[in-house]
Amino acid sequence: MFAIIAVYEQYKQDVFVYLVSITHNTTLSQDLVSETFHSAIKSLSSFEGKSDIKTWLFSIARYKWYEYLRKEKPTISLDDLTKYYICDECEPDEIVAQNEVARRISQLLLREDTRTRDIVLRRIEGYSFYEIAKKWGISEGSARVIDFRTKKKLKEMLTREGFEYE
């Protein structure tokens, strides 16, 4: 129990700052911090320590943000989520203006095999690597590698085509 409290005390501010950077809303970020740590506590047994705990918490926080977006704006499109996927550092306001990039990403994904396309689309929709790996019967690491390589490939293709996404 004390370890959980220590983790919370050590990382709550970092998670909060990260959430404010993507939501631009301090009140919402405070709520999402609570949800993030609640989910982290529930899934603590599945944390294998293969990544830094801060990275793990950030991925949960990001998932909670996506979950909020889906609930708050039920009509959020795959294109909107795709814009978040390709640009790790972009501000949400900048991303929303880049509809053409999202459409092109969707077209490029059609060239990928079914498993790769599904893994990327699930990440775009906010699924965790654990959930994706479970669906495909692969390790979380494999799901991460497939996602990373595909994202890198998409970025390279977009750059060659002259698209700006950052």
Q: What digits encode the pLDDT tens for the residues 32-59?
A: 999 999 988 888 777 777 778 888 898 8
What count of other Cβ atoms lies within 10 Å of the Cβ of residue 110?
7
What is the average pLDDT score of the chain? 81
CATH number of 88-166: 1.10.10
Residue 81 has pLDDT above 50, yes or no: yes
61 contacts 69 by C-beta, under 8 angstroms: no
Residue 113 has pLDDT above 80, yes or no: yes
Going by pLDDT thresholds of 50, 70 and 90, the confidence category of residue 97 is very low
- Return all residues near 79 (Cβ < 8 A) that are at least 6 apart: 99, 102, 103, 106
- pLDDT given at position 142: 94
- pLDDT given at position 52: 83
- pLDDT given at position 93: 47
- pLDDT given at position 99: 61
The residue ranges of every structural domain in the chain are 1-76, 88-166
Of 30-39, 67-76, 106-115, the one with minimum mean pLDDT is 67-76
Torsion angle in degrees (nearest 10) through CA of 43, 135, 102, 155: 90
Of 46-50, 78-82, 122-126, 159-163, the one with minimum mean pLDDT is 78-82
CATH number of 1-76: 1.10.1740.10
Burial (CB < 10 A; 0-12, 13-18, 19+), residue 46, is: exposed
